[in-house]
Amino acid sequence: MTAPDRTAPDTLSILVIGSGLGGLLAAVRAADAGHHVVLVTKSVLPESNTRYAQGGIAAALFRDDSVDAHVLDTLRAGAGLCDPAAVRVLCAEGPARVRDLIRFGVDFDRDESGVARGLEAAHSRSRVVHAGGDATGAAVEAALVATVRRRAAIDVREHTMLVDLLVDDGVVRGGRVLCPHGVQHNIDADAVILATGGAGALFSHTTNPSVATGDGVAAAWRAGASVADLEFYQFHPTALAAPGTPLVSEAVRGEGAVLLGSRGERFMLAEHPDAELAPRDVVARAIARQMERQGGAPVLLDATALGRELLETRFPTITAACRAAGLDWAVAAIPVAPAAHYWMGGVKTDAWARTSLPGLFAVGEVARTGAHGANRLASNSLLEAAVFADRAVRALGEPGRASTSRPADLPHSLSTSTIPGLLPETAPGSSPADLATLVDRRKLQRFLWDFAGVHRSGAGLTSTAASLAECTAPPASSTSVAALEDRNLLDLGRLLVAAALAREESRGAHFRSDFPDTRPDLARSVSQTLELVPAREAIAC
């Protein structure tokens, strides 16, 4: 990998888009390096996916752990699609970034041995540090928001949404944004750091907040940036089956909670040697199958053996969510089901967060660094945001760029204009054809959940792709946040479905009933160069 060139100009104007861990840390790092920073966020500064992260941050901080062990666990979870160099960067630099967060004021939980740590699925060691029990994300967000507000060099603009990137002769020169008063205008910059998070709003069931509409991935793709691995969306196995779909952290199962069918049987024992602590994709699919066997009813998560004191002190956020739903998980098992949680794919970057477009960087969930492969290891998400936000700022201003080579095409990559007409595999009373013509977010979410969710098939994906091709998106000139979000969701829905169609195998978070096996020859990223809309959209300066 190429290190940044230190002969670059000292002071740059930097546009950071997004206010999760990646965006906040990048803004602080850039300001501390002497750059002028404008930080824009679609909602209020503290609102992001980071805020809702529960489990913690995985890092090899302890004597009985090692970077090599963390690397091996991450590679195993990634199902053969990780970039080993990116994984090494993530795991080797992770401990230093956690220590940075401590210096910025994150108060990680402690026990008699020092910093407390937990075990989560697919980890071979207890290495997940947490704060506020199950409120790690909120603690990280609060500390970094306070740090940003103390930096006079950071111009914070809330309720400001990215519309598109400004591109001049193939170089990103800023962004077009929708301001709080409903007017679009341009923000010029020497470099743009995308930190807009994921796109859980693609699906009807998600643990993400409503702001997670994939704005950065969509804008980068329209500008011509390489994107990759969009078929790999991680569905968290255990979201509370209650209004709002609150997350029930994997750390609960790490403490000893078990999954039960409607008759009280532990069904995971027959699914995987690690039972409830199997990789997330395995547990999510097993739960989905069990729900099918019991007529769609949620499965049960039994944490009663942990006792009320542990549940209320270690998991206060989940305890509060249970109470709000009229449940007491200290005395009875609670209903849970899978929900869209994290996108492994995104804007393709190198090890310094550089994209294929000069002047554009991507950090956090918006980026596809290669560190997660086909299935992210639990609690590596906040770690990735911190590590690559730091690297992006170190690379600012240097004249190099990420490789422009795109991932290799998989066999039979499809354009929506050439998909053959196939009848969908539908549930009674529903069909992807119902989605055609107008963009209706709820329909889009429902059909992506049904046909591009935990379980997929070629027939359902093909019919959904054809319907998406007939939809009309709101114009880029819209002054409605919801309309611009719908435009992004339609673009991303088309891309995700096309990628899922092109990958004719099952791997990690991507499972197809018509191709249930993993194919060693397809252990590479799917190209996302298909022309799924009439033309790329980028605004010339």
Residue pair 413/526 in contact by the 8 Å Cβ criterion:
yes
Residue pair 439/197 in contact by the 8 Å Cβ criterion:
no
Rounded Cα distance between 4 and 398, Å, is 6
Q: How do strand 360-362 and strand 191-194 relate by DSSP bridges?
A: parallel
Residue pair 203/444 in contact by the 8 Å Cβ criterion:
no
Q: Please indicate whether residue 263 is annotated as part of the active site.
A: no
- CA nearest to 302, candidates 281, 278, 282, 322: 322
Backbone angles phi, psi at 218, to 5 degrees: -65, -45
User: How much of the chain is helix, strand and coil, in % rounded to 5?
Assistant: 35, 20, 50
Backbone angles phi, psi at 498, to 5 degrees: -60, -40
Rounded Cα distance between 48 and 455, Å, is 28
Rounded Cα distance between 342 and 285, Å, is 15
A 10 A CB-CB count for 458 gives 17
Rounded Cα distance between 42 and 160, Å, is 5
- CA nearest to 108, candidates 116, 100, 118: 116
The long-range contacts involving 44-48, CB below 8 angstroms and separated by at least 24 positions, are 44/158, 44/159, 45/19, 45/145, 45/148, 45/149, 45/156, 45/158, 46/19, 46/141, 46/142, 46/145, 47/19, 47/209, 47/211, 48/18, 48/19, 48/20, 48/21, 48/23, 48/141, 48/197, 48/209, 48/211
A 10 A CB-CB count for 116 gives 18
Element (H, E) at 368: strand 367-368
Rounded to whole angstroms, what are the CA distances from 538 to 40, 173, 320, 465? 19, 11, 45, 24
Rounded Cα distance between 298 and 339, Å, is 12
Catalytic residue among 51, 127, 176, 280: 280
A 10 A CB-CB count for 159 gives 15
Active centre residues (catalytic): 280
